[in-house]
Homo-oligomer: A and B are copies of this chain.
Amino acid sequence: MPANLVETTPSAYAYPLLIKQLLLTPLATTPDQEIVYRDRLRYRYRDLQGRIGRLANMLATLGVKPGDTVAVMDWDSHRYLETYFAVPMMGAVLMTTNVRLAPEQILYCLDHARADLLLVHADFLPVLDAIRDRLKTVRTVVLIADGAPAALDPARFAGEYEALLERAPPGYAFPDFDENTRATTFYTTGTTGLPKAVYFSHRQLVLHTLAVGLTTGSHPGGQSFHRGDVYMPLTPMFHVHAWGFPYLATLFGVKQVYPGRYQPDMIVKLFVAEGVTYSHCVPAVMQMVLNCSEAASANLNGWKVVIGGSALPKGLARAARSRGIDIWCGYGMSETCPILTASQVRPEDQGTLSDEEELAVRCRTGLPIAMVDIKIVDTDMNEMPADGKSVGEIVVRAPWLTQGYLHDAKSSEALWRGGYLHTQDVATRRPDGYLQITDRIKDVIKTGGEWVSSLELESLISQHPGVAEVAVIGIKDMKWGERPLALVVVRPGHEGQLTTELLQQHLLAHCQNGLLPKYAIPERFLFVSSIEKTSVGKTDKKLLRQKYGAS
């Protein structure tokens, strides 16, 4: 390009995209909006500014310098929100710690991330006690007593969060620096191997916030998060920055409600008392809230809830809709900051769909949000047609994807290929743009050059009345590469009646309906007494493949 084209931005005009700039408009325009922590504390945005400054001064006094890593182990709270801003705004890195991991895994993560300082809620002291002597890099620990005054051992703790905050001055001159400076890091837990760390820069978090805010905010009618809402997260703040919504809620200047540890009764109580209108969670939390006794008598009408983490089952969506909950899906992963798609009904389709059709849209993987370049590709990176049938892997480019895994060049290499991040999710795309995930790539059965979804086969087989449980895996085949093998647990009362032929006929009917290609019908069905599960209750396909002969 000719030299006169590229504007090298002199520093006088430079405006690096930094997390601190998300605070500019809310602090100036909605200083009286509230931030609420359970039924214990509430303060205003004008106080948030001072608390962020105090936290930075406190951390600086405790020796935190730009480039250091500050780890947090806390429930969802105003404190967590304060660290979301103060730590990266100082030029330090915020490590959000998955408190559900085993102590040994937490030890691994803190060491691997080279955490310098740890803020730890009193509830997690047993975990800390189990690993403290072996921590390699953590120099300083601050206790979060959470209201309960604690007699602190100065040899173990630098102090208590709130007490230290009170002693620190509110003014802190947060500097400008390169927008590509790392702001956050956290660990993903795959089904196997050690946790891997993803990481995000100031620029990435700002752009994720702007694009998510534009897409959700500009949606007419429901299925939106906007500046008139009251926000309460139900995805833990240690998990991909609670999907980035605390940053967006702050930029929007809305009232924010932090529920601490997730207890259904407290969640419903806060929902009612604070007038919550927008939340996000995994399906299990939605189910837990709907099932709790407090929810039975509460008016949940108009609650907007975006579901992520795993697919939204239609049964759950229907149950939520029957309570008046405006429920829909988002899709993403830790590696993608996370949001890539949302299952909003297109404005041009609003009012044209039946209830069942709209429910189906809301349960889809969704439409890409602004600035997301998403494709369905075959193994040679050829784009598959958007015909609602052709399957391929979802690959993506967006301004907010992790560059790789921290200190793990090998895994990073597999993540990025051909200029795109490979999600390992297999999906179709409809002509109107909606994506639908059909499988994880490792569970797809590649047979004769075609891809067969193990999830789809399982779904169809499970609809036979004699089937209690089913798992489908690919096994090696000389001719076709792989062929599907179905493991079936027979439903009590159907013992001895279920045969391979009956199940093949059952599937053949679906082939005639056009729901399944004929080559997807397994030759082999194995009737088993149980199907192995992982520690979190998912079918352990890795183990099954080992046991039954994977390709």
Q: Give chain A's interface residues, CB within 8 Å of chain B.
A: 1-2, 4-10, 12-13, 15, 17, 21-22, 24-25, 28-33, 66-67, 91, 93, 177-178, 180-182, 199, 201, 206-207, 210-211, 213-214, 216-221, 225-229, 251-252, 254, 346-348, 350, 367-374, 386, 397-399, 401, 403-404, 416, 419, 431-433
Contacts and interface: CB of A to CB of B under 8 A. Distances in A.
Given A213-B218, A218-B218, 4 more contacts: A12-B416, A29-B432, A220-B226, A228-B350
B228 A347 contact: yes
Contacts of A218: 213-214, 216-218, 225-227, 252
A1 B347 contact: no
Given A220-B226, A220-B228, A346-B30, A7 B370 contact: no
Contact of A347 (B2, B9, B227, B350): B227
Given A211-B210, A214-B214, A217-B214, A182 B371 contact: no
Contact of A403 (B4, B7, B67): B7
Interface residue SS majority, chain A: loop
A121 B214 CA distance: 35
Contact of A8 (B180, B219, B368): B180
Contacts of A399: 15, 17
Nearest to A33: B348
Contact of A227 (B201, B219, B372, B416): B219
B370 A25 contact: yes
13 contacts: A1-B177, A1-B178, A1-B181, A4-B182, A7-B199, A9-B180, A9-B403, A24-B368, A30-B433, A213-B214, A219-B228, A220-B226, A254-B347
Copies in the complex: 2
Contacts of A227: 218-220, 347
Contact of A5 (B8, B67, B216, B374): B67
Contacts of A2: 66-67
Given A210-B210, A346-B30, A370-B25, A7 B201 contact: yes
Nearest to A93: B5
A13 B368 contact: no
Contacts of A373: 21, 24
B368 A28 contact: yes
User: Which one of A33, A225, A251 has the highest number of Cβ atoms from chain B below 10 Å of its Cβ?
Assistant: A251
A373 B33 CA distance: 20
Ranked 6 nearest A-B pairs via Cβ: A217-B218, A220-B228, A29-B433, A2-B67, A228-B347, A217-B217
B6 A178 contact: yes
Contact of A67 (B1, B181, B404, B419): B1
Contacts of A9: 180, 403
- The CB with the most chain B CB atoms within 10 A, among A177, A218, A348, is that of A218
A440 to B, nearest CB: 23
With most chain B CB atoms within 10 A of its CB, the pick from A2, A227, A432 is A227
Contacts of A432: 29, 31
A67 B216 CA distance: 36
